[in-house]
Amino acid sequence: MKHRPLTLIQDDLVDYEKAMERMAELVAQRQEDQRPDTLWLLSHPMVFTAGRRTLTEHLPDPSHGIPVVSTGRGGQLTFHGPGQLVGYLIVKLEPGEGVVDYIREVELRLVAALGELGLTAERRDTPPGSELLTGVWSGGRKIVSIGMRASRSVTSHGFAINVNGDLAPWDLAVACGMPDVHMTSVAQELGAADFDRVRAIVAQEFQAS
């Protein structure tokens, strides 16, 4: 993979909409070369986020009390909550490099990070005519969700790794546009997961400091 060192920002729990405001600022700075490529690692309180292709029938019932926020990223519906490591990537793409090319790199870096934790994982190619299989999978279950976009050659949004949070909210909606998808976490696959260790290994795999 490319040598692409990133500047690291780390936070704990950040409200999703406040994070979107901050991310927009970071993207604008990167577009004007006022900051380097950046990885922002954080978590969110419980929230569902809907990508541009999310179908209304895939949304959770409002009675569950978890807010749903529309986003400008690609991808479908996803869930964020405590115990999930979110990484926002504000990266200037190279000439001729598209956002899908970069997403492939992100998948491979996360596969490597999970491997460091002792967890066998893989990215998948999407069969023609099928729903996008963007993300990372382990044992047939999805462990990482990815949704990104690019504006003026700078990426935004990123990935979410289920580390040791509650997986039950995933069953309240149609995750990732796939009714039959089964979500998993590092803790579920390995029996336990140290959130800080996962965060450190992910930062290392992205050459972020």
Residues noted as catalytic: 176
Instruction: Show the tokens assigned to 153.
Output: 């050659």
Residue 199 burial by Cβ neighbours in a 10 Å radius (0-12, 13-18, 19+): buried
- Among candidate residues 2, 29, 141, the one with its CA nearest the CA of residue 90: 29
Q: Which amino acid makes up residue 82?
A: P
Helix (H, G, I), strand (E, B) or coil at 190: helix
In sequence order, the β-bridge partners of residue 10 are 41
Size (the chain), residues: 209
CA dihedral for 40, 188, 61, 56, sign (positive or negative) = positive
Report the distance separating Cα 68 and Cα 59, nearest Å.
Answer: 8
